[in-house]
């Protein structure tokens, strides 16, 4: 039955109809009517006021990534909307389903350079899956339904809905119907059985198959199918940065991370396998290194929901278009049970080499000082692998990905494609709302922390029990590492000072502690984990540690370095 | 090897979609040689005809990216010899030059052009053809000084007997009815 309500109320009701219970946002002039409508719906819709719109969208991303649900973020017109753009771009590259609602000047003022007018539709076009400006109030239910359908289906992504202010006041006869199809948009193409059969045959024939899995496995909830496939055919499997946690870290066939700072075995074996089976991943340049030297010897199966990814970077001999869960379900019965014991042993041997040369010293530092890898190991142990790990961008991100142990799916939140410094703290806020039942531990460098540290205010106001670990080396560590390796140690503007982070946290009413020596580390992390509420731990880590292994930019994955070259 | 390709795309007629499509080209630093957008035989569905000079690998990826846009129904690419195509050009010359001798008239006959309008001051001539043809006519006519010249973007039609969009819409309706 239709109800006569105004546009703002229609926006809020549409969001409730979609099963959303949390919104991250920041009010302002052009979105005030929507905030006014929100005021009456406190029982159904929780609104988290961040300290900056960038914080709102990163929080929404964190929420979506851990919960698997679409998240919503509000901002006003002009600067409110433009402040979302970094997060929208991040969500686009990492395929995160976020619906952004921005206020806009009243429709008669569009295009007049009115106060706080920005062409957010034009600006967000390259970085949204879809965007739309509503200037007719009657469009609201249909456009909102389309927004949620597009954001979450197929390969997910951000959608922006720009809402002219006059529309927020105008009246309509409201009736909501969820969208489940759009003529011009096919998020899931029917699976071609022949493609599946061809892929199965290739797997059955392969002597050295190697499976790579990405975030597509998480999107389609294909974790169980992935496990069944690798176990049945006995295939070593490695993950992309965003695919991590789709297979538990301690699974015997989980051979580690791909790419620039991934594990040694997965990188060198890429160029020794005879079959690459890529599932829900897109061959990012951080994974492939030099494309021309990437697995030239191997046949490639590419299981992917987005047709534009097929043959985009690495040509697929056996493309299989479709949702990972559906494709794998069809593939598993066609795949023979198999054993690849010797081949898998090669990965184990490579791991031993890496352990001796890199890992041991990363996670057990015996000189009294503290390494980032060790902090990650201890935090992972103290949370029994049950925590959600959120990272910022840089060295701590790579150490966290390498050394955090995952038991459960959707347990890592990190900015992969865009590499957005400042992502970690607000993303942790969202992750905690997405999974209030789980401990959220976030690793942030002292540089990235200073980009969005105002979100400590949000954490304090809402008493969000996130555990914040600042790995402080007074450097922009990853850039410094590159200066060390490739720019003759010319440390151009990578020295960075900071405030007293402990006092800063305390100023927000958040308990905090600083760790200086290795002997205090375990106790401090235990204390943090056991604390009921938000907690900040500043750990003074070794100043000039580098992340290894490393595939230098533009090099082949087989040229992965285990240590700094001596020449 | 780079060569001329004709990209055709069918889309919903929505504001902002042209921007989405041109971004696919600008991001890859590919110049659009010509662009024509108009309503197709199906009401509410626009047809884009875009000419680019790229390698086949590039054009494949561009078409994949256009196809990926939510409001695009389907995109295709073709080489010139797979399509019948035309452009239209208009030429304005001084009517005095036309009447002074029969030279312009001869050129009009030779090039299969036609006169659209004659006033005391000027005459507008129209010619359709490939770019080389309309250009050649321009070069010939320009001995008499062409006052104004304009050429349209390309329009093109496949040599295949099937209307692909109708086929495509039928297939899609079938898929959608199965998933409902």
| Chain A positions in Cβ-Cβ contact with residue B172 (cut-off 8 Å) | 183, 186
Tens of pLDDT, residue by residue over B81-134, are 999 999 999 999 999 999 998 999 999 999 999 999 999 999 999 999 999 999
User: For all residues of chain A together, what is the average pLDDT?
Assistant: 97
Do B179 and A181 make contact, defined as CB atoms within 8 angstroms? yes
B-chain residues near A130 (CB < 8 A): 70-71
Residues of A in contact with B16 (CB under 8 A): 121-122, 125, 131-133
Q: How many CB atoms lie within 10 A of CB B42?
A: 14
Is the pLDDT confidence value at A567 over 80?
no
Preceding peptide of B91 cis, ω within 30°:
no
Q: Pinpoint the alpha helices (H) of A296-366.
A: 324-331, 341-354, 360-363
- CATH fourth-level superfamily of A193-346: TPP-binding domain (3.40.50.1220)
Considering chain A, what percentage of its residues have pLDDT values greater than 70?
100
3-state secondary structure A483-538: HHHHCCCCCCCCECCCCCHHHHHHHCCCCEEEECCHHHHHHHHHHHHHCCCCEEEE
Chain B residue at shortest CA distance from A190: B175
**Helices (H), ranges, A209-304:** 216-219, 223-233, 264-270, 285-288
**Contact A198/A277 with Cβ under 8 angstroms?**
no
Q: Which chain A residues are closer than 8 Å to B175 by Cβ? A: 186, 189-190
Question: Where do the DSSP E strands lie in chain B?
Answer: 3-12, 32-39, 45-54, 72-79, 83-94, 114-118, 122-129, 146-151, 155-158
With bands split at pLDDT 50, 70 and 90, how would you rate the model's confidence at A222? very high
Distance CA A150, CA A178 (A): 11
* pLDDT of the residue at A141: 98
Which residue(s) pair with B158 in the sheet? B83
Q: What is the mean pLDDT of residues A425-450?
A: 98
> Phi, psi at residue A449, to the nearest 5°?
-60, -40
Query: What are the residues facing B4 on neighbouring strands?
Result: B53
Mean pLDDT of chain B: 93
Sort strands A440-445 and A275-279 into parallel, antiparallel or unpaired.
unpaired
Are A3-174 and A366-541 equal in CATH topology? Answer: yes
What DSSP designation does B104 have?
H
Taking only the tens place, the pLDDT of each residue in A324-367 is 999 999 999 999 999 999 999 999 999 999 999 999 999 999 89
Q: What confidence tier does A522 reach under pLDDT thresholds 50, 70, 90? A: very high
With CB atoms and an 8 Å threshold, state whether B67 touches A183. no
Report the Cα A287 to chain-centroid distance in Å: 16
CA of B18: which chain A residue's CA is closest? Answer: A125
pLDDT at B179: 59
Q: Residue B72's closest chain A neighbor by CA?
A: A184
Phi, then psi, of A556 in degrees rounded to 5: -75, 155
Q: Are A559 and A535 within 8 A, CB to CB?
A: no
* pLDDT at residue B162 tops 80: no
Q: Which of A122, A306, A307 sits opposite B19 (nearest CB)?
A: A122
Q: Do the beta carbons of residue A102 and residue A162 sit within 8 Å?
A: yes
In the sheet where A299-304 sits, what is the strand order? A254-257, A237-239, A209-213, A275-279, A299-304, A318-321
Specify the pLDDT at position B166: 81
For residues A446 and A454, what is the distance between their CA atoms, to the nearest angstrom?
A: 14
Whether domain A366-541 has CATH 3.40.50.2300: no
Mapped onto helix, strand or coil, the DSSP state of residue A470 is strand
A123, two tokens: 């600006």
pLDDT band at B173 (very low <50, low <70, confident <90, very high): confident
Mutate to test the interface with B, among A99, A124, A184 (most CBs of B within 10 A): A184
Q: Tokens standing for A224? A: 């169980």
Q: Could you identify the residue written with the tokens 């205090």?
A: A520
Nearest CA in chain A to B65: A308
Chain A residues near residue B11 by CB distance under 8 angstroms: 184
Grade residue A219 by pLDDT with cuts at 50, 70 and 90: very high
For B16, the closest of A125, A183, A184 (CB atoms) is A125
- Over residues A236-262, the pLDDT tens digits come to 999 999 999 999 999 999 999 999 999
Interchain contact, A307 vs B67, CB within 8 Å: yes
| Active centre residues of A (catalytic) | 53, 115-116, 165, 478
For chains A and B, CB pairs below 8 A equal 56
Burial of A259-269, coded b for 16+ CB within 10 Å and e otherwise, reads bbbbbbbbbbb
Q: pLDDT confidence of A285, banded at 50, 70, 90?
A: very high
* Contact partners, residue B87, CB within 8 Å, separation at least 6: B34, B128, B129, B130, B131, B134, B151, B152, B153, B154, B155
In order of their start, the domains of chain B are 3-83+155-179 (3.30.70.260), 86-151 (3.30.70.1150)
pLDDT digits (tens, 9 = 90+) for A367-415: 989 999 999 999 999 999 899 999 999 999 999 999 999 999 999 999 9
Region at A399 (left for phi over 0; alpha for psi -120 to 50; beta for the rest):
alpha
Q: With a cut of 70, say whether residue A506 has pLDDT above it.
A: yes
Which of A159, A181, A183, A302 has the highest number of chain B CBs within 10 A, making it the mutation to test binding with B?
A183
Q: pLDDT tens for residues A6-60?
A: 999 999 999 999 999 999 999 999 999 999 999 999 999 999 999 999 999 999 9
Model confidence at A416, in pLDDT bands (50, 70, 90)? very high
Higher pLDDT, A2 or B174: A2
Query: What distances in angstroms separate CA B46 from CA A50, A180, B10, B74, one per listed residue?
Result: 42, 23, 6, 11
Domains of chain A, by residue range, sit at: 3-174, 193-346, 366-541
Q: What does the pLDDT read at residue A151?
A: 98
DSSP code for A271:
T
Superfamily name with CATH number, domain A3-174: Thiamin diphosphate (ThDP)-binding fold, Pyr/PP domains (3.40.50.970)
B176–A122 CB contact, under 8 Å: no
- Residue A163 confidence class, pLDDT cut points 50, 70, 90: very high
**Closest to B175 (Cβ–Cβ): which among A130, A133, A190?**
A190
Q: What percent of chain A has pLDDT over 90?
A: 98
What chain B residue is nearest to A149 in terms of C-alpha separation? B70
Give pLDDT, residue B109. 96
Beta carbons of B176 and A181 less than 8 Å apart:
yes
Residue B180 has pLDDT above 60, yes or no: no
A533 token code pair: 């509420």
Least Cα separation, residue A310 to chain B (angstroms): 9
Alpha helices in A404-468 (DSSP H): 424-434, 446-452, 456-462
Q: Which residues of A touch B67 (CB under 8 A)?
A: 307-308
């Amino acid at each position: 039955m239709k109800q006569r309500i105004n546009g703002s109320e229609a926006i809020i009701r549409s969001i409730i109809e979609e099963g959303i219970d949390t919104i991250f946002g920041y009010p302002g002039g052009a979105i005030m009517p929507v905030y006014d409508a929100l005021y009456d719906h406190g029982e159904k819709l929780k609104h988290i006021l961040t300290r900056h719109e960038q914080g709102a969208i990163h929080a929404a991303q964190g929420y979506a990534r851990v919960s698997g649900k679409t998240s919503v973020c509000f901002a006003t017109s002009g600067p409110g909307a433009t402040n979302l753009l970094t997060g929208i771009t991040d969500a686009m590259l990492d395929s995160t389903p976020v619906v952004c609602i921005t206020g806009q000047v009243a429709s008669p003022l569009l295009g007049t350079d009115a106060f706080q007018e920005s062409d957010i539709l034009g600006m967000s076009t390259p970085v949204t899956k879809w965007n739309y400006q509503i200037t007719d109030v009657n469009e609201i239910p249909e456009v909102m339904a389309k927004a949620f359908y597009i954001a979450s289906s197929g390969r997910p992504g951000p959608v922006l809905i720009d809402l002219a202010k006059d529309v927020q006041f105008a009246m309509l006869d409201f009736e909501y119907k969820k969208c489940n199809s759009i003529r011009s948009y096919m998020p899931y193409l029917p699976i071609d059985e022949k493609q599946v059969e061809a892929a199965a045959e290739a797997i059955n024939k392969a002597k050295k198959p190697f499976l790579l899995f990405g975030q597509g496995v998480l999107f389609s909830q294909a974790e169980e199918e992935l496990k069944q496939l690798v176990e049945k055919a006995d295939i070593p499997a490695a993950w992309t940065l965003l695919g991590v946690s789709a297979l538990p870290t301690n699974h015997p066939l989980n051979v580690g991370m791909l790419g620039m700072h991934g594990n040694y075995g997965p990188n060198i074996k890429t160029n020794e396998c005879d079959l690459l089976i890529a599932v829900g991943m897109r061959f990012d340049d951080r994974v492939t290194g030099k494309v021309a030297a990437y697995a030239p010897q191997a046949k490639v199966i590419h299981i992917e929901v987005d047709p534009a990814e097929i043959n985009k970077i690495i040509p697929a001999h056996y493309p299989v278009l479709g949702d990972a869960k559906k494709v794998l379900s069809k593939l598993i019965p066609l795949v023979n049970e198999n054993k690849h014991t010797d081949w898998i042993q090669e990965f184990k041997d490579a791991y031993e080499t890496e352990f001796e040369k890199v890992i041991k010293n990363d996670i057990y530092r015996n000189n009294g000082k503290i390494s980032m890898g060790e902090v990650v190991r201890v935090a992972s142990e103290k949370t029994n692998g049950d925590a959600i790990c959120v990272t910022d961008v840089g060295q701590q991100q790579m150490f966290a990905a390498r050394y955090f142990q995952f038991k459960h799916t959707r347990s890592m939140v990190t900015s992969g494609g865009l590499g957005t410094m400042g992502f970690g703290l607000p993303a942790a806020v969202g992750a905690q709302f997405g999974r209030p039942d789980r401990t959220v531990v976030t690793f942030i460098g002292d540089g990235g922390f200073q980009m969005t540290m105002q979100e400590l205010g949000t954490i304090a106001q809402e008493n969000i029990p996130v555990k914040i670990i600042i790995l402080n080396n007074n450097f922009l560590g990853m850039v410094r590492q590159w200066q060390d390796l490739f720019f003759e140690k010319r440390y151009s503007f990578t020295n960075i000072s900071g405030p007293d982070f402990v006092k800063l946290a305390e100023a927000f009413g958040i308990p905090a502690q600083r760790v200086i020596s290795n002997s205090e580390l375990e106790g401090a992390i235990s204390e943090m984990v056991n604390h009921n509420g938000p907690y900040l731990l500043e750990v003074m880590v070794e100043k000039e540690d580098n992340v290894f292994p490393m595939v230098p930019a533009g090099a082949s994955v087989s040229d992965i370095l285990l240590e700094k070259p001596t020449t | 090897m780079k060569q001329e390709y004709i990209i055709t795309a069918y889309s919903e007629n929505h504001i902002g979609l042209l921007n989405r499509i041109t971004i696919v080209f600008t991001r890859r630093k590919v110049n659009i040689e010509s662009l024509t957008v108009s309503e197709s035989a199906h009401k509410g569905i626009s047809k884009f005809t875009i000419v680019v000079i790229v390698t086949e690998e590039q054009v494949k990826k561009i078409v994949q990216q256009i196809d990926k846009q939510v409001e695009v129904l389907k995109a295709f690419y073709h080489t010139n010899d797979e399509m019948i195509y035309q452009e239209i050009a208009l030429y304005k010359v001084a009517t005095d030059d036309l009447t002074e001798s029969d030279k312009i008239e001869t050129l009009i006959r030779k090039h299969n052009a036609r006169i659209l309008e004659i006033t005391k001051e000027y005459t507008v001539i129209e010619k359709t053809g490939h770019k080389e043809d309309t250009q050649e006519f321009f070069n010939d006519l320009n001995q008499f000084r062409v006052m104004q010249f304009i050429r349209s973007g390309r329009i093109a039609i496949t040599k295949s007997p099937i209307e692909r969009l109708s086929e495509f819409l039928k297939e899609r309706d079938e898929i959608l009815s199965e998933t409902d």
